Structure 1
Amino acid sequence: MNNRLTSFTRAGLRFDVVDSGPIDGPVVVALHGFPQTASSLSELTALLNARGYRTLAPNQRGYSPGARPRGRFAYRVSELADDVVALIREIDRGPVHLVGHDWGAMVAWSLAGARPDLIRTLVTVSVPHPGAFVRSLVSSDQLARSYYMGLFQLPVLPERLMLARPDLMDRALAGTGMTPDAIARVHSEILDTGALTGALNWYRALPFAARRAMSAPVRVPVTHIWSTGDTALGRRGAELTERHVTGDYRLAVIDGASHWLPEERPHELADIIVERIESVPR
């Protein structure tokens, strides 16, 4: 497919896509996390575009206005991964290079484990392999770091509180290292657009995650990136991730950076991504 992609559909849902860079360049699919959209990846994708890569950054399920089904069951990790499968098939360019940050990394892990035929290389940012994350809950302070995931399981109340008292959310995000500009985008792109419930449903659907998807080994070449200032994810999960990858694996640690790496350290991320891509023959 040699045309720019602005959207794609799956199961009656329409997803918005930011398609940039050389139209015939190697394809990098970039997945955003919570509570952000593809705009959080814009600096990173621009750097990849400058190096000759075409990037496709979708606004995922719950975030795209045309892809907000009701009910938490519709937000299972398997469904989120299958949305990305539909995007890859839409461009029909063979295996792609996959990058995911935060929840986007969780989707990327699931997709790479289930469909290695579609993925040439994988770079995950912040969130470790789901099997490693589960192990870290009982072998480190990760459970305490992830307290908010339990709160997000509550129906209705979290979004009501965030909408009624956005200052509380602002302080929580600022405490994790998110910049004022990024927090402002959370307001304009998530709170003000009705995307919050869909975004929270990613957490609410976790009880429906298939055990196989959580533990499947990943056979493609992988680089996992973790930052020492990440308040949400501890080092233990990053260290355990290697046990869940059977392909070539590298762990890249970025010192002094917060959880929000695509905006805080886009140049370092771009270097690591290109290094991983260039580690395999075209």
Structure 2
Amino acid sequence: MRIMTDLGWLDARIVSGPPRVAVLWHSMFTDSRSWNRVVEDLRESRTLVLVDGWSFGKSADLGQVVDDFIDRCVQGASAVVSQVQDELAPGPVDWLGSAWGGHVGLQLAAVQPDLVRSLITVSTPIPAASAAMRRQVKMLLPVYRAIGMRGPVRQGLLGGMLTDRTRQSDPEAIDALVAPMSRPNRGAIARTVHSGVLNRKDLAWAAALVTCPTLMIATDDRGEWSPSECAKITSAMKDARSAVLTGTRALPSLECPGELAALVIDFWAGAGSRNP
């Protein structure tokens, strides 16, 4: 599936399942292959639409740094849902987003609630990027443009996204980060990272507006977004709860796919009974 947006084409892979549709949008620094380890479990419950964000997968390169990036992503997400409704099934979708994809889904559910049946965010910080993260990204982006996924760039990215155990024992998980970031379109990828990380704004206002059943999944090894912060946000929302996955940092879909899939499937079963 290819979806035209103001920022260029988005490419999405469809995995057939039951009539209800879930849209999955990946984290920054990787692409839709980061969901591969949960696809077989999740397709038992939903037809899956796995979106590649701009500059990743087969989607169009981002042509410029975008200040209001999540706003523009939400416009693209709305186009994705509209095309899903035309080609696959009418009605709202279940949204599953990791970090970047969680930010997009959260704001989409806030401003266009008719499009989102339920929302799951995975390792998705609600505040704007921390000063420490901004400094690291600002330092590494010029180096990445110059040398690609080597040296300090590779070390910094893998250290920030994956636990020590995964980096030492799971080459497939490492490849799910290294391969998308090793493509020749480094300038476009850098623009997407700049837009999505350095220009990220606090989304507490969006969380306050979300009314659909929501699950926010935190991890025990991501300092930027702790389980307690996640629980505090969900406690103030209309119909939300939090969960914690242990032994993982920013990408549970790679590091603990079985546990993540179980949480998602259980939530979908409950949300479906409340929100047909």
What TM-score do the two structures reach when normalised by structure 2?
Answer: 0.82
Confirm or deny that 1:239 pairs with 2:234.
no
Instruction: Pick closer, same or farther for the CA change 1:37–1:127 going to 2, 3 Å.
Output: same
Say if 1:227 and 1:258, in contact at 8 Å, map to a contact too: yes
Q: In 1, are the aligned partners of 2:25 and 2:102 still within 8 Å (CA)?
A: yes
**Match among 146, 153, 159 for residue 144 of structure 2:** 159
What one-letter code is carried by the residue in structure 1 that aligns with 2:77? V
Is the contact made by 1:218 and 1:244 (CA closer than 8 Å) also made in structure 2? no
* Structure 2 CA distance for aligned equivalents of residues 183 and 114 of structure 1: 35
Equivalent position to 1:9, from 4, 8, 16: 4
How far does residue 161 in structure 1 lie from its aligned partner after superposition? Answer: 5.4
Q: How many angstroms apart in 1 are the aligned matches of 2:60 and 2:236? A: 31
DSSP-derived class of the 1:223 partner:
strand
Match of 1:9, as an amino acid?
A: M
Q: Distance in 1 between matches of 2:137 and 2:51?
A: 24
Partner of 2:14: 19
Aligned to 1:77: 70
Structure 2 residue 102 is matched with structure 1 residue 101: no
1:171 maps onto 2:172 in alignment:
no
Structure 1 counterpart of 2:54: 61
- In structure 2, how many angstroms separate the alpha carbons of the residues matched to 1:77 and 1:12? 12
CA RMSD of aligned residues (A): 2.7
Report if aligned partners of 1:97, 1:122 keep a CA contact under 8 Å in 2: yes
Confirm whether residue 230 of structure 1 aligns to residue 222 of structure 2. Answer: yes
Q: Which amino acid aligns with 1:39?
A: R
Return the alpha-carbon distance in structure 2 between the equivalents of residues 151 and 46 of structure 1.
36
Secondary structure in structure 1 of the residue aligned to 2:210:
coil
Cα distance between partner residues in 1 of 2:255 and 2:202: 33
- TM-score, normalized by length of structure 1? 0.81
- Within 5 Å, give how 1:96-245 maps onto structure 2: 96-128=93-125, 130=126, 133=127, 143=130, 147-153=132-138, 157-160=142-145, 163=148, 166-175=150-159, 176-177=162-163, 179=167, 180-194=171-185, 195-200=188-193, 201-206=195-200, 209=201, 216-245=208-237
Residue 264 (structure 2) aligns with: 273
SS of the aligned residue for 2:179 comes to helix
